[in-house]
Amino acid sequence: MTSKYTRIYADYNATTPCDQRVVDTMMPYFNMHFGNPSSSHHAHGWLAMDAIDSASETLGTALGVSPGELVFTSGSTESINSILKGLYLKGRSKRNHIITSKAEHKAVLDTCQALEAEGAKVTYLDVTANGLVDTQQLKQHISDTTLVVAIMLANNETGVIQPLQEISELCKTYGSFLFSDATQALGKIPLDDFFDHVDFACFSSHKVYGPKGVGLTYIKDGNEKFLEAFMHGGGQQRKLRGGTYNTPGIVGMARAVELSVKNLEVEFARLRGLRDQLQEGLSAIEETVVNGAAASRLPNTLNVSFKYVDGEGLLRALSKQVSVSNGSACNSANVNPSHVLTAMGIPEVLAFSSIRFSLGRYTTQEEVEQIIAIVSREVAAQREANILWERRKR
């Protein structure tokens, strides 16, 4: 990566660079095959619609679902809004209760809050110290008024993977839908039985080396009728999501997902090796805690609290050397401690001193070694300036 800053990128959960093979696949659809896929009366339109159909097939095969179960969107945020609001608008007269967890992405939490203002009753489940949804609490709250349970597959800040099978069984008992935000899981862990458990799901292209501004909603076969359309106009995508297809984006996402899924096994092992190396190196720094370590986690994600360190100060010190984050990118203007870590019962002061490292396709072992050296140095410098560090052993 060339820029005026020499720095290491370790924020792949925020976004990923577009793979050159994806860019190459997209290029012809900007100017050569530029037709509107909905122009059904001429060859320019047919060619573009062929590309959309072929992308749907590729995505269906890569995910192990039927292409007819997929709807293209502008990303996971739109998919989340369309599923939760779409279900609520259609189903609220019979069921108006939604269950989610306090550790979900803000796209889910803010949408639930907006629905509360519309009259929905929302239960926000606690998570355990490991970051896992408290299924005992879910059992206490789920009832035959529960419309949908929204629990993510893998957390963007800690990488913690949720027990969806157990949650799905409870949902089936009560006739509630299970929606799972799988944005961070795609391309990182196998989704073998994921689609057996969920009724609705969402994915985002830019987390898997595809273009930004493209995503997918998964709607299990037969469930379309439970959703109110989110975007009206034009009648595209079975009237569920009007608007001209983003042909280059969709073609690019299909290629990106295909590449990620194809290489998953090898990449999983490689990333886990690098993440474990990073975890070991950073754990050698005194007074550090790895958050979510006891749970099953994504292979690329590491969330560490450095006691006696101000996370903002550390982020600032690291900013020109290593690109990392202290929560989700969408939230980085936020001065509150991470809602995910506080939901896990981590004290605010420790949550403030936490950094998320997320590795990816272009991370090398040398970079991991450099990260360990840089972070060790900067943590020591931050502590030097903290009187509490000196006094801690007295």
Contact 204, 183 (CB under 8 A): yes
What six digits make up the tokens of 278?
A: 């990073």
Contact call for residue 328 and ligand PLP (CB under 6 A): yes
Give dist(CA 370, CA 378) in Å, integer: 12
Backbone CA torsion sign across 86, 88, 92, 95: positive
Contact 84, 219 (CB under 8 A): no
In the chain, count of helices (H) and strands (E)?
15, 12
Contact call for residue 56 and ligand PLP (CB under 6 A): no
**How many residues belong to the chain?**
394
Site string for ligand PLP, 94-123 (x = CB under 6 A): -----------x-x----------------
Q: Which of 25, 204, 246, 291 binds ligand PLP (CB under 6 A)?
A: 204
Residue in the shown chain whose Cβ atom is closest to ligand PLP: 75
Contact call for residue 291 and ligand PLP (CB under 6 A): no
Q: Which stretch binds ligand PLP (CB under 6 A): 19-27, 74-82, 263-271, 273-281?
A: 74-82
Which 334-363 positions form the footprint of ligand PLP (CB under 6 A)? none
Contact call for residue 211 and ligand PLP (CB under 6 A): no
Q: Which of 135, 158, 184, 246 binds ligand PLP (CB under 6 A)?
A: 184
- How many whole angstroms from its chain centre is CA 76? 8
Contact call for residue 81 and ligand PLP (CB under 6 A): no
Give dist(CA 267, CA 273) in Å, integer: 10
Q: Which of 16, 56, 58, 76 binds ligand PLP (CB under 6 A)?
A: 76
**Backbone phi and psi for residue 283, each to the nearest 5 degrees, phi listed first:** -70, -20
Neighbours of 140 (CB within 10 A): 11
Backbone CA torsion sign across 50, 52, 55, 59: negative
Contact call for residue 11 and ligand PLP (CB under 6 A): no
CB of 173 to ligand PLP, least distance (A): 26
First to last CA, the chain: 47
CB of 249 to ligand PLP, least distance (A): 12
Give dist(CA 76, CA 74) in Å, integer: 7
Q: Which of 47, 87, 125, 152 binds ligand PLP (CB under 6 A)?
A: 152
| Count of residues interacting with ligand PLP (CB under 6 A) | 15
For the question of residue 171 being annotated catalytic, the response is: no
Contacting residues toward ligand PLP, per CB under 6 A: 75-77, 105, 107, 152, 156, 181, 183-184, 204, 215, 328-330
Q: What residues are labeled active site?
A: 330
